[in-house]
Amino acid sequence: MRKAKGPVPLAPAERERLEECLAGIKSFFPIWLEYHLAFRRAYLGEPVTVEQEARFLQLKSDVARRHQYLFDQLGRDYVDGAYITDLLRSTINLEKVAKTQSTNYYKIENNWHRFYMNLQDTVTSIQFRLEQEDRQT
């Protein structure tokens, strides 16, 4: 009888890449939350200052840049990673978000939350792979 083969061990470079991506996602969470709070406050009627609008546009740029990095690094391991583009398009700026209809706003909220959950799933998936690797060694 042949003995069943276990999973192929991760190459050191692959493990390093996964650990780097994991750290990247974890540092992405605070930015993603700040982005959410900014558009939520605008929708709820909080006056938008020039500084807040500039910060929001910077956050949006940071989100897009970090997303692209993770998408490039993780590929199929990035759970539903392509989903964020529509969300970024729907939040052009805080002034537009403040004037959006409630049905459109709740789509934005839903999309934001879905992507947040997908980030969590991606973290869990990567951590599981790394833990499996640790158990083999």
pLDDT in tens, 38-94: 999 999 999 999 999 999 999 999 999 999 998 888 888 887 766 788 889 999 999
- What is the residue extent of each domain of the chain? 13-136
pLDDT, tens only, 40-53? 999 999 999 999 99
Higher pLDDT, 4 or 133: 133
Fold of 13-136: de novo design (two linked rop proteins) (1.20.1440)
Q: How confident is the model at residue 5 (pLDDT cuts 50, 70, 90)?
A: low
**Percent of all residues in the chain with a pLDDT value above 70, rounded to a whole number:** 92
Answer whether 79's CB lies under 8 Å from 118's CB: yes
Answer whether 78's CB lies under 8 Å from 122's CB: yes
